[in-house]
Structure 1
């Protein structure tokens, strides 16, 4: 009985995580074939590139985008990154 409970719980969690999709970063080549829906930027980030990617993905999700491509990035003590959004 405990095994069945565990399997049901795992199945429910898998279904929930599958439904929650995050915007993904695409290459310039991939972006060339996509329709742009705008741009976003994040600033003042002290951290590793994965922190920047996570913030861009979250912001792209909030804007309704499925993917993004970084078009500008610089570091003057903290990062500033601009990305183009795509559906």
Structure 2
């Protein structure tokens, strides 16, 4: 039982530390003061909202963006999300 709790705690901590360095998700109002630098998309056959956000974070970071805003998303058996990147 302690091993399961330890693994769960490490998973949460690694997700939190990943978020500390990842591009920030912003809403439309926050994006008004930022410069758009393009878009990214992610898609797949199965994914939770957390996994989809993690994929968007990774792609935004790889492009050097400091923020992103999801402009399209759906999950109907297959998921797809598009985000606008900002400097």
* TM-score (structure 1 length as normaliser): 0.73
Counterpart for residue 41 of structure 2 = 41
Give the aligned length: 69
Q: Which runs of 5+ in 2 are unaligned?
A: 1-16
> Which consecutive segments of 4 or more residues in structure 1 shift more than 2 A?
none
Deviation at 1:76, TM superposition (A): 2.8
Deviation at 1:78, TM superposition (A): 1.5
Deviation at 1:77, TM superposition (A): 1.0
C-alpha separation in 2, matches of 1:69 and 1:86: 8
Counterpart for residue 6 of structure 1 = none
Structure 1 residues 2-17: aligned runs within 5 Å? none
2:45 is equivalent to residue 83 of structure 1 = no
Counterpart for residue 65 of structure 2 = 65
The structure number with the bigger radius of gyration is: 1
Counterpart for residue 12 of structure 1 = none
Deviation at 1:46, TM superposition (A): 1.2
Q: Determine if contact 1:45/1:52 at 8 Å carries over to the other structure.
A: no
